[in-house]
Structure 1
Amino acid sequence: MRHLPGCCGIILVFLLGCAGQLKEEQQTITPRGTDCTQIKALSPQARSGVYLIQPPRVKRPFKVYCEMRADGGWTVFQKRSGGLVSFNKPWAEYKNGFGNLKEDHWLGLNKVYSLTKDRAKKWTMRIDLWDHHGSTAFAEYKNFRVGSEKTAYRLNVGKYRGNAGDAIRGAHEGIDQNHHGFSTADRDNDGCSPCIFGDIVESECAASEGGGWWYSRCGSASLNGDWHPAGNHMGWASGLHWHTWKTSEPYSVKATRMMIKSVEKSTFF
């Protein structure tokens, strides 16, 4: 190997070090796409897992779990499969997110807002449900989005399809949760002032239903309450409820997943 003068050797080492550091930083912070749908479209062989995304007009990229399906890439914003992660959290944690992206988690309302405020796209939300006996069901809603924190992350969903029933818009109990803000135990934005259910007076849905959700007059959809194991999943006010699927009495499902997929407006029907 040819000997380099001391000064040149120092400069070469410095340059190589900078290049290595720059490459490492690029690998760490360069986003892979604006959302999971774009990642899947650009890399059709991409597998489900954690990816870095950066929605338009968002300064810092953030990590999400992408569920890569035959119908596109879906950005997961809620997953529940057991009781290890408590979803009885205050407003700040529902705003910013909690849990492990590869396991049970809530992505964060701020991140969901940063995705769905992109008016160049429309969004479909899919909710997957699993019961304690191996059965599954799903509900999909077009035109999904949430508002900013100033609106209490107000929910908007459009046309429904699926086999779980339209619980959000009150197909079972007639209580429409669409266009309502998000509520937690420490920030009440529901429609009860109070609500009367038989001989029960309810002022804050989050207090009895648990966790955080887009409550109106409480309602028939609520997937962030207490998780109940098989044998202890019937009759509880707090649970993972989707009453249009299991209607005999309050039934807390075994597992849930909520995720969104973007569609360009020109191809959205």
Structure 2
Amino acid sequence: MFADSGVYTIAIGGNKTLHVYCDMTTNGGGWTVFQNRFDGSVNFERNFTTYENGFGDINGEFWLGLKFIQTLTEKPSEFRYDLDFDDHNPLYERFGRFQLTGAQYTLSIDNEALDYSGISYPLGEQFSICNGAPFVAFVYGPEITCDIGGRGGWWYCNQRCDYNFNLNIVYGTEIFIKQDSSLEISRIIKSSRMMIRRI
């Protein structure tokens, strides 16, 4: 019998514990959700310290916290994100490796998705292009001089911070989704979920 999706308490080293939301139904279950958005009730335009420690409501919209995501991905983990849009055409992608390293929570992810659905062209490169990028929130970040107000914390991979595939962007903002190797369309995200699972 499978467990239900919901909030669980897990050990994260020593005597420390953490409340997490576990998705026990998607793709076999066992996923730890670290970002959940669906109505814009939680402001994701936060400073670096807040992104590090986490914010929101574990039963609603939330960001788990960079330091906890880093701890959970110290062991090999896969990654999946699910999106739904204003046109109600959902998509997902799943990657075989995801890890955050160092004090700046540098992104390390596979270049290509293991599987995907809802799109004709995999979006993996829109993540992997920022492999090695530090996490940036507001104007924090080494060699990042732009003002990213309104965009939310993310792994920005250039100094202009104009990278469009940001799932922490202000709710209701358009992002660009590749349809094939040359065509991009603008879509408005209505819900997003990012989660990891131990391999």
Asked if 1:74 corresponds to 2:31, the answer is: yes
Structure 1: gaps spanning 5 or more residues:
1-43, 193-202, 229-238, 264-269
Structure 2: gaps spanning 5 or more residues:
none
- In 2: Cα distance, 1:168 partner to 1:242 partner: 13
The residue that corresponds to 1:244 in the other structure is 178
The residue that corresponds to 1:162 in the other structure is 116
Q: 8 Å contact 2:139–2:147 — kept in the other structure?
A: no
Q: SS at the partner of 1:221?
A: coil
Say if 1:87 and 1:98 are closer, same or farther in 2 by CA, change over 3 A.
Answer: same
Deviation (angstroms), 1:178: 1.5
- Larger helix proportion, structure 1 or 2? 1
Q: SS at the partner of 1:88?
A: coil
Deviation (angstroms), 1:168: 5.3
Choose from 93, 96, 101 the match for 1:142: 96
Q: 8 Å contact 1:117–1:145 — kept in the other structure?
A: yes
Q: 8 Å contact 1:182–1:189 — kept in the other structure?
A: no
TM-score by length of 1: 0.64
Asked if 1:207 corresponds to 2:164, the answer is: no
- In 2: Cα distance, 1:108 partner to 1:87 partner: 12
Deviation (angstroms), 1:139: 1.2
Deviation (angstroms), 1:78: 0.1
Deviation (angstroms), 1:91: 0.5
Q: 8 Å contact 1:65–1:75 — kept in the other structure?
A: yes
Choose from 133, 140, 145 the match for 1:187: 140
Q: 8 Å contact 1:48–1:67 — kept in the other structure?
A: yes
What letter is aligned with 1:143? R
Asked if 1:48 corresponds to 2:48, the answer is: no
The residue that corresponds to 1:222 in the other structure is 166
- In 2: Cα distance, 1:112 partner to 1:242 partner: 26
Choose from 17, 20, 35 the match for 1:61: 17
Deviation (angstroms), 1:83: 1.6
Larger radius of gyration: 1
Q: SS at the partner of 1:52?
A: strand
Percentage identity across aligned positions? 28
Asked if 1:85 corresponds to 2:42, the answer is: yes
What letter is aligned with 1:144? F
Deviation (angstroms), 1:84: 1.1
- Larger strand proportion, structure 1 or 2? 2
Deviation (angstroms), 1:134: 1.8
Q: How many residue pairs get matched?
A: 188
Moved over 6 A (4+): none
Say if 1:137 and 1:242 are closer, same or farther in 2 by CA, change over 3 A.
Answer: farther
The residue that corresponds to 2:81 in the other structure is 127
- In 1: Cα distance, 2:174 partner to 2:55 partner: 18
- Asked which structure has the greater RCO (Cα within 8 Å, sep 6+), the reply is 2
Q: 8 Å contact 2:45–2:149 — kept in the other structure?
A: no
- In 2: Cα distance, 1:205 partner to 1:128 partner: 28
- RMSD, aligned α-carbons: 2.3
Q: SS at the partner of 1:66?
A: strand
Q: 8 Å contact 1:167–1:220 — kept in the other structure?
A: no
Residues 208-250 of structure 1, C-alpha deviations (whole Å, 9 max, x = no match): 6x1100110242420111112xxxxxxxxxx36352269223x
The residue that corresponds to 1:257 in the other structure is 193
Q: SS at the partner of 2:141?
A: coil
Q: 8 Å contact 1:67–1:73 — kept in the other structure?
A: yes
Q: 8 Å contact 1:221–1:242 — kept in the other structure?
A: yes
Say if 1:98 and 1:240 are closer, same or farther in 2 by CA, change over 3 A.
Answer: farther
